[in-house]
């Protein structure tokens, strides 16, 4: 089954500073939430997709991973220690966690326990609600610095908020994500299984798949640098390099980003905030697609 983009985890050392960054970029940023395993987050929502700004705020509460238990907190803690702030995890929309786990296991990309949890969320009016999720993890054995899982929401009406999806920069949704690797073709079997969609080769070193919500691209570091500027440092396997946001009016986005005094670069019709300014992430703003185009 094809799975659309659900969210991306942006691991940072200072959650308030990350919230200020996204606020400067013209996003509406949610309040701080706490997980029982030592991480705190703040959410930036678009319809059906969100950015999860994540800090390991209480390391003493982080459980260690085992052979079959994936520790969300430990993974992000260790990644922050080894590579610094970055886009750490790609998450797709789940529908049937048990079936997704079985699919990943059968393909040789699983072997990890399902994880169910709930936490208290807060509506824009300050009232508290309960949100609950089930996670099915997948893993590319050759990619230790990028996490992957599906997320099934059990109380979506308590999570999604139209008020939190209105952004001063005009963002209307997610257009896609971009991963980099030394050999993108080597990771296509994993990504095809994870997303439930087929990838096509655009050119040598660049493969693309369209999901029900946004595109997934994987390309070489050189191609990424040519298109968007600096890429994450080359290391083993896949790294999540960029998130592409669709905006209703690129001129509105340009004015907002200019007013923030962020180091933005315009490249072939898109606006790029590079990793030096965006805490290890590349954030791309581009005109939303015209229906039927």
In the predicted model, what is the mean pLDDT of residues 219-244? Answer: 91
Scanning the structure block, which residue is given the tokens 């998450």?
Answer: 91
pLDDT in tens, 52-66: 999 999 999 999 999
Task: Name the pTM for this structure.
Answer: 0.95
Distance from C-alpha of 13 to C-alpha of 279, rounded to nearest angstrom = 9
In the predicted model, what is the mean pLDDT of residues 136-165? Answer: 95
- Domain of residue 20 covers 5-165
User: What does the buried/exposed string (b/e) look like for 139-161 if buried means 16 or more CB atoms within 10 Å of the residue's CB?
Assistant: bbeebbbbbbbbbbbeeeebbeb
CB 104 within 8 A of CB 68: no
In a domain, 292, yes or no: no
In a domain, 10, yes or no: yes
**Of 177, 199, 171, 14, nearest in space to 91 by CA:** 177
Sign, CA torsion 212/237/233/205: negative
Where among 165, 196, 218 does a domain terminate?
165
pLDDT in tens, 7-60: 999 999 999 999 999 999 999 999 999 999 999 999 999 999 999 999 999 999
Of 124-133, 252-261, 268-277, give the lowest mean pLDDT range: 124-133
Distance from C-alpha of 244 to C-alpha of 237, rounded to nearest angstrom = 21
User: What CATH number did the domain enclosing 177 receive?
Assistant: 3.10.180.10
| Average pLDDT of the chain to the nearest whole number | 94
224 in the same domain as 97: no
Number of structural domains (the chain) is: 2
Distance from C-alpha of 285 to C-alpha of 243, rounded to nearest angstrom = 9
| Helical axes 97-106 vs 184-195, angle rounded to 10° | 150
In the predicted model, what is the mean pLDDT of residues 240-257? Answer: 95
Please give the C-alpha separations between residue 276 and each of 142, 214, 220, 230, in angstroms, as whole numbers: 26, 25, 20, 9
In a domain, 293, yes or no: no
Q: Quickly state the pLDDT bin for 147 (edges 50, 70, 90).
A: very high
Rg of the chain over all Cα atoms, to the nearest angstrom:
18
Q: Quickly state the pLDDT bin for 290 (edges 50, 70, 90).
A: low
CB 40 within 8 A of CB 61: no
Question: Could you say which DSSP state residue 77 is in?
Answer: H
pLDDT at 291: 61
106 in the same domain as 17: yes
11 in the same domain as 145: yes
pLDDT at 233: 79
89 in the same domain as 227: no
């Amino acid at each position: 089954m094809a799975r659309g983009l659900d969210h991306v985890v942006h691991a940072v050392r200072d959650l308030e500073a990350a919230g200020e960054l996204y606020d400067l970029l013209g996003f509406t940023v949610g309040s701080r939430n706490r997980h029982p395993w030592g991480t705190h987050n703040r959410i930036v929502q678009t319809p059906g997709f969100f950015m999860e700004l994540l800090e390991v705020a209480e390391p003493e509460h982080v459980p260690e991973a085992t052979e079959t238990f994936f520790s969300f907190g430990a993974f992000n803690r260790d990644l922050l220690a080894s590579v610094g702030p970055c886009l750490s995890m790609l998450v797709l929309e789940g529908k049937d966690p048990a079936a997704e786990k079985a699919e990943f296991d059968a393909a040789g990309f699983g072997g990890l326990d399902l994880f169910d949890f709930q936490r208290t969320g807060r509506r824009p009016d300050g009232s508290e609600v309960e949100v609950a999720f089930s996670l099915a993890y997948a893993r590319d054995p050759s990619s230790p610095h990028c996490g992957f899982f599906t997320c099934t929401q059990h109380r979506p009406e308590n999570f999604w908020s139209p008020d939190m999806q209105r952004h001063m920069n005009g963002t209307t949704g997610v257009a896609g994500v971009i991963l980099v690797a030394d050999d993108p073709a080597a990771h296509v079997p994993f990504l095809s299984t994870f997303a439930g969609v087929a990838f096509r080769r655009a050119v040598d070193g660049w493969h693309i798949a369209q999901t029900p919500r946004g595109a997934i691209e994987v390309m070489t570091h050189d191609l990424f640098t040519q298109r968007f500027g600096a890429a994450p440092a080359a290391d083993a396997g896949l790294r999540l390099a960029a998130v592409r946001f669709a905006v209703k009016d690129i001129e509105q986005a340009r004015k907002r980003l200019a007013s923030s005094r962020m180091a933005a670069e315009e490249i072939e019709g898109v606006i790029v905030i590079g990793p030096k300014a965006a805490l290890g992430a590349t954030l791309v703003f581009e005109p939303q697609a015209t229906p039927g185009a």
